[in-house]
Structure 1
Amino acid sequence: MAELRAAYRRELADGTEVFFEARQHRCPWCGSARLGGRLRTTDLLQHKPGEFSLDRCHDCGHIFQNPRLSERGLAFYYRDFYDGLGEERLGGLFAGGTATYRRRAESVRPHLAGPAEWLDVGTGHGHFCASAGEVLPEVVFDGLDRSDGAELAQRAGRVRHGHRGTFPELAAERPGSYDVVSMFHYLEHAPDPQDELEAARAVLRPGGLLVIDVPDPESRFARLLGRWWLPWLQPQHLHLAPVANLRRRLGETGFTVLAEEHAQAHDTVDLVAAAWLALDELAPREDLPWLPEPPGRVRRAARGATLMAGVPLLLAATLLDRTVAAPLAGRWGLTNAYRLVARREVRPGTSRQA
């Protein structure tokens, strides 16, 4: 921890401004200059220093981080989240999502014609692939991730091949290699979503399937919970596209949308996650290497006492999530995500092999 603290201190010596690109004055989705502020917040999960702003386009409704993190900033804020210090914690969290992973695989099953090769983009530690393989035993899964999670997934036997790097790079190396590409809560992390959609088209065989899960910025919970709505996930989420925008863009990229799902993509955590984020913000910090100094005994005791006092709040929020919010999520527009399943079409003038 002392070594990490020294490294973070050196990286923060110039302040957090060096982690951002220049502010944009046009919507990156439609090009409109009619922008308005949507949200200002901090890093509520890792508590790394910095402030983050989300703007909304008044013409198309696209929500995006502005100013956006640079490559240096992305590297800084991702470090020790999915790997390093966060590897064990996130690995346990991902391993507990079996039911969610199986539902995702079931959404694609009606559109599969038989044995297939599937690339899971943003695979993390490959837990989705392991669970989906039980639902779809005729499918072979590969994983791609920018962190070492994909390599860990391969060593654990959850994927056939674990590729480390960016999706456009892999697509350029392996065009037409897969029958299915999945992006489960990945596209919102991409600096340029269009590059990712083009990569999906390139790596898929004609008639191949693309399945995308992303947060739904039109969810009523986004307005009701404000900065405590978990899917804002700043500073990691760079783009949040309304479903109409993504459907239209898929069509322009050469896909036909086969299915749109909201209730099936919903994760029943909004209220308990908001309660946890608020409680964690209130409590004194735990020992984190990007903070100037480790907590003393008094701060550690105060943190433990605060979290223990918040247990009834967390239990009540969990109960409301499951008994009230979940059954009414679709009817009341509370779903926090949506899923699109699309087919790669053959563009005019190209062969079935193109």
Structure 2
Amino acid sequence: MPPVPPWGCSRPSAGSERRRSGTTSNVTTRAEHIATLRPGYQQDLASGTGRFFEPRQEVCPWCGSNRLRERLRTTDLLQHKPGTFVIDRCLTCGHHFQNPRLSEQGLEFYYRDCYDGIGREHAEKLLGASGSRQHHRAAAESMRHLVDPERWLDVGTGYGYFPEAARQVFPKTTFHGLDQGEGVTFAEAEGRIDQALRGLFTHLAPSRAGQYDVVSMHHYLEHTPDPRAELRAARTALAPGGLLQIEVPDPESAYSRMLGRWWLPWFQPQHLHLMPCRNLREALGDAGFTVVNVERRVPHRPVDLAAAVALRLSHLMPRDDAPWHPRPPSTTARRVRKLARTGGLPAVVAAYALDLSFGPVARRTSFSNAYRLLARRG
């Protein structure tokens, strides 16, 4: 998930508006839909959240060191699903990871209705925002003079907005998109990708060995249980000399220390691993890649302060209606929430203005919140 404010002001695309017309855009219809989902969620939560987590790890999954320190303890600040999540930092290599990590049941529970289902409209609005589209095009532009790809695989493509932007730079390229969610099928239907592939990259890569000139992973690797396995899968899928482009949040950003749990790229509980740049560079070398470029300025998105304010305000508000809550909010709670959203919006806007003003400095300093690597297969 790209680091964008949870109160985005962008509009969905015209195509997504047409698809939603007459479905869940009506408040009553949404409430009815949530009511049908509530019994299933309440049954999932009846025995608590313990089964959603694996046993706690006593050593770093990246380097094996036992020198671990808790960096962060938080709740789900976006969907407000129940649970407490911990990020540990390895004092030896600097790797950050969720500990204890979500189990398979936990991944299913916390991803459910985030990008698909009742969360689809919000996810599509944020992922398709104009700022995100410009960011995607810049990422593609950075490769214009390095490759003339015939086939390109975008891993973790979501609704296909990155391939859509990259096609403007590489109009003759065939774009495939891979994801586990239903968004990838909508991306194909909308023409943003030429072929939708649904499933796990590590499972699919052997059947696509050597077929791609470029593989891209934008804000995908941090979601995966085993990032090193994903790098090996990328090497398998790429043709000799092919390029791998990776963009991830930077856990060493000064904003991560300054904002604490309110720094959006922590993105709990979905981000399982956050890797310092030096660690990812070494892992790419181990997987048979040569890093040809590291970029920190362009990947930075100036939203840290606005997102932190929005997350804090959302945390203080009465909860919105959602099936993982035992019951719908009362009329009073709805009114208070609406007033709080209206009253808090100027603070979010003011914080965003500061983000934009400080952006040029952040891009050139340790405040940059993301980095992008370009690596060539052996």
For Structure 1 versus Structure 2, the TM-score category normalised by the shorter chain is: over 0.9
What are the Cα deviations for residues 99-129 of structure 1, in whole angstroms up to 9, with x where unaligned?
A: 11101111222221x2421000000010111
Q: Report if aligned partners of 2:160, 2:177 keep a CA contact under 8 Å in 1.
A: yes
The CA deviation at 1:138 is 2.3
| Contact 2:297 2:364 survives alignment (8 Å) | no
Q: Which amino acid aligns with 1:308?
A: T
Partner letter of residue 33 of structure 1?
N
Q: Give the distance between the partners of 1:46 and 1:255, measured in 2 at CA.
A: 37
Q: Counterpart of 1:327 in structure 2: which amino acid?
A: P
The aligned residue for residue 365 of structure 2 is: 332
Output the CA distance in 2 between the equivalents of 1:64 and 1:139: 36
Shift of 1:157: 1.0
**Could you say which residue in structure 2 is the equivalent of 1:349?**
none
CA distance in 1, matches of 2:292, 2:354: 33
Counterparts in 2 of 1:256-335, with a 5 A limit? 256-324=290-358, 326-335=359-368
Question: SS at 1:279's partner residue?
Answer: helix
1:107 and 1:184 map into 2 onto residues whose CA distance is 14
Aligned twin of 1:146: 180
Match of 2:256 in 1: 222
Aligned partner of 2:146 in structure 1 is 111
In structure 1, the residue matched to 2:155 is 121
Task: Show the 5 A alignment for 1:164-175.
Answer: 164-175=198-209
Match among 100, 107, 124 for residue 67 of structure 1: 100
Contact 2:54 2:100 in 1 (8 A): yes
Provide the rounded CA distance (Å) in 2 between the counterparts of 1:173 and 1:290.
38
Backbone CA RMSD of aligned residues: 0.8
* Alignment-derived partner of residue 111 in structure 2: 78
Shift of 1:131: 1.3
1:192 alignment partner AA: D
Hey, what does 1:40 align to over in structure 2? 73
| 8 Å Cα contact 1:64/1:238 also seen in 2 | yes
Aligned match of 1:237 in 245, 268, 271?
271
- Alpha-carbon separation, structure 1, partners of 2:329 and 2:140: 44
* Aligned-pair CA distance for 1:56: 0.4
Are 1:256 and 1:342, in contact at CA under 8 Å, matched by a contact in 2?
A: yes
Describe the SS at the equivalent of 1:258.
strand
Which aligned segments of 4 or more residues in structure 1 are displaced greater than 3 angstroms? none
Map of 2:219 onto structure 1? 185
Q: Are 2:55 and 1:7 aligned?
A: no
In 2: Cα distance, 1:156 partner to 1:169 partner: 26
Note the C-alpha offset of 1:331: 3.2
Question: Aligned to 2:170, which of 131, 136, 156?
Answer: 136
Residue 134 of structure 2 corresponds to residue 99 of structure 1: yes
Partners of 1:252 and 1:67 in 2: CA distance = 26
Cα distance in 1 for partners of 2:144, 2:298 equals 14
Tell me the TM-score normalised to structure 1 length: 0.96
Q: Deviations over 1:139-169 (max 9, x none)?
A: 2110000111111111111111100000011
Give the Cα separation in 2 of the matches to 1:332 and 1:176: 38
The letter of the residue matching 2:355 is D
- How far residue 173 of structure 1 moved from its aligned partner, in angstroms, is 1.5
Deviation at 1:332, TM superposition (A): 2.9
CA contact 1:258–1:343 (8 Å) conserved in 2: yes
Q: Is the 8 A contact 1:108 1:211 kept in 2?
A: no
Aligned-partner Cα distance in 1 for 2:362–2:200: 34
CA distance in 2, matches of 1:17, 1:210: 37
Give distance in 2, aligned partners of 1:88 and 1:247. 36
Q: Extract unaligned runs of 5+ from structure 2.
A: 1-33
The alignment status of 1:90 with 2:117, answered yes or no, reads no
Match of 1:352 in 2: none
> What is the rounded CA distance, in whole Å, between the counterparts of 1:50 and 1:68 in structure 2?
12
SS at match of 2:118: helix
| Structure 1 residue aligned with 2:284 | 250
- Give the corresponding residue for 1:350: none
Task: Return the TM-score normalized by structure 2.
Answer: 0.90
Percent of residue pairs identical: 55
Q: Which amino acid aligns with 1:149?
A: G
